[in-house]
Amino acid sequence: MKILVPVKRVVDYNIKPRVKADGSGVETAGVKMSMNPFDEIAVEEAVRLREKGAASEVVVVSIGVQQAQDTLRTAMAMGADRAILVLTDESPEPLAVAKVLKTLVEKEGPSLVVLGKQAIDDDMNATGQMLAGLLGWGQGTFASKVDVVDGRVNVSREIDGGTEQVSLALPAIITADLRLNEPRYASLPNIMKAKKKPLETIPAADLGVDMAPRLTIVSVAEPAERKAGIKVGSAAELVEKLRNEAKVI
């Protein structure tokens, strides 16, 4: 069984994002980029399934600029077998990503696609679901536990107030939630070995997919700064301020 894991290169989670001076987006020039943390969890889960013998090959794919190669190399250092980079200078929306992934699924024929539940840059939480819809496959989203048993995959889903168990026929889509696993480090020997693993680059245009954006970003702004608090002298003053200044009582 082959597993496909899409990974996204995003602004590193340690970096405080800075809105561009013209409000058109977030500054990414010269900013440290790394693999979307939920995608790391997805890679880890796929590698563990292979290590357990439930899968035979893990293929990682990224859609983006040339530097997304680094992200793919990291995934291969974690244990993925090979990588595909779909090269584009645009930052495609989830629907376009799902369409590209559909063509790759048709080409590669995986039985399982494991994705991060969302990317930490745009927090869309849509690609996995859209891909399931386009392919007509079952989906186990927000997975916190995955078991492949007798040609089916059992998924524990994190839902409001508890977990839900679903059993999906293969092929299927899984999106990884935070508690699914703790990803391993890419060790130095494995990073060295990953340099020699195969990485195929496909120009996005060659796939013949309509990637035109459907969304328009109107403006991007930083959250309003929180005002410093004040100390009040008495309960009476507090009531007075709540009534006349804050106007909440």
Partner 1 sequence: MSEPVRESMEFDVVIVGGGPAGLAAAIRLRQLSPQTSVCLIEKGSEIGAHILSGAVIEPRALAELLPDWRERGAPLNTPVTAEDMLYLTETGSIRVPMLDKVMPHMANHGNYIVSLGEVCRWLAVQAEELGVEIYPGFAGSEVLIERNRVVGVATGDMGVGRDGKPGPNYQPGMELRGRYTLFAEGCRGSLTKQVMAHYDLRKGVDPQTYGLGIKEVWEIPAENHRPGLVQHSFGWPLDDKTYGGAWLYHFGENLVSYGFVVGLDYANTWLSPFEEMQRVKLHPAFRHHLEGGRRISYGARALSEGGLQSVPRLTFPGGALIGDSAGFLNVPKIKGTHTSMKSGMLAAEAVVEAIKTDRVEPGSFTQKVRQSWLWQELRTARNIRPAFARFGAMGGAVYAGLDAMLLRGRAPWTLHFKHQDNETLRPADLCTKPFYPKPDGKLTFDRLSSVFLSATNHEEDQPVHLRLKNPSLWKTVNWDVFHAPEARYCPAGVYEVADEQTAPHLQINAQNCVHCKTCDIKDPTQNIDWTTPEGGGGPNYPAGM
Residues lying near partner 1 in the complex (CB under 8 A) are found at 12, 14-16, 18, 21, 29-32, 34, 182-185, 187-189, 191-192, 228
CB of 155 to partner 1, least distance (A): 22
Query: Which residue, 163 or 190, has its beta carbon nearer to partner 1?
Result: 190
CB of 182 to partner 1, least distance (A): 6
Q: Which residue has the tokens 């909440």?
A: 248
Which sign does the torsion angle of CA 152, 76, 188, 42 carry?
negative
Query: Which residue, 91 or 190, has its beta carbon nearer to partner 1?
Result: 190
Query: Which residue, 14 or 216, has its beta carbon nearer to partner 1?
Result: 14
Which sign does the torsion angle of CA 18, 22, 24, 29 carry?
negative
Q: What are phi and psi of 108, to 5 degrees?
A: -90, -30
Query: Which residue, 34 or 103, has its beta carbon nearer to partner 1?
Result: 34
- The CA distance from 20 to 217, in Å, is 13
CB of 165 to partner 1, least distance (A): 25
CB of 65 to partner 1, least distance (A): 15
CB of 29 to partner 1, least distance (A): 6
What region, left, alpha or beta, does residue 114 occupy, with left being phi > 0 and alpha being psi -120 to 50 degrees?
beta
- The CA distance from 80 to 60, in Å, is 7
Which residues, 6+ apart, have CB-to-CB distance to 123 below 8 Å?
A: none
Query: Which residue, 12 or 108, has its beta carbon nearer to partner 1?
Result: 12
Q: Which two tokens stand for residue 207?
A: 């796939």
The Cβ of residue 24 has, within 10 Å, a number of other Cβ atoms equal to 10
